[in-house]
Amino acid sequence: MKVDPYIARMTPAAPLTADDLSQLHLPNKRTELVRGVLVVREPAAYRHGEVAMNLALAIGSFVKAHDLGRVLAAETGFRLFTNPDTVRAPDVAFIRSGRLPDPATTGFPAMAPDLAVEVLSPDDRPGEIHEKVGDWLNAGVRLVWVVDPERRLGHLYRHDGSESHLAEGDAIAGEDVLPGFACRLADIL
């Protein structure tokens, strides 16, 4: 049977799985899997990396001092949904002690962190960020921080559907996810 090449090109490929994603090696690229579709982005720029590290250090120091769980570095993937698979990777993640995966876990843990932090890059589109925040919350993340270094703003999204907007002088707080944690947004920007 002869296949018309035009029709073959129009037929969508089978959705990728989390296992497929773990086997991909795309040097110098950031990847996620969204409902079976591979999303490839350029590496983050300097400013993005600096703000993400400032947040990771602040959260990590607090978590370690209070033995609350684990903080994970940028681009650690979490399998949030299956059939089709979605693997998202925040810039910083926190998982409380009672929810930590087995240390022998390989690949992407099938879970959502308690806190997911996204640091915006200049090329991020608002619709993509809202979709990502929605995926985090629908998967069970209790608190999502979105930090915008360029505009010097922050947005907090909670599992109950409420949200807060922060100006540069405001404190970003851990609320019931990291009780007692707070730092001024200006200190991490």
Kind of pairing between the strands at 115-119 and 92-96: antiparallel
Q: How far is Cα 15 from Cα 20, in angstroms, rounded to an integer?
A: 10
Give the residue from 35, 143, 41 showing the smallest Cα distance to 87. Answer: 35
pLDDT of residue 90: 97
pLDDT at 11 (0 to 100): 43
Would residue 36 be called left, alpha or beta, if left means φ above 0 and alpha means ψ between -120 and 50 degrees? left
> Taking the C-alpha atoms of 28, 29, 30 and 33 in order, what is their torsion angle to the nearest 10 degrees?
-140
Asked if 132 and 155 touch (Cβ cutoff 8 Å), the reply is: no
How much is the pLDDT for 183? Answer: 96
Residue range 44-188 forms a domain whose CATH class is alpha beta
The residue ranges of the chain whose pLDDT is under 50 are 1-11
Contacts of 103 (CB under 8 A, 6+ apart): none
Q: In whole angstroms, give the CA distance from residue 36 to residue 187.
A: 38
Ranges of each domain in the chain: 44-188
Per-residue pLDDT reduced to its tens digit, 140-154: 999 999 999 999 999
Which pTM does this prediction carry? 0.90
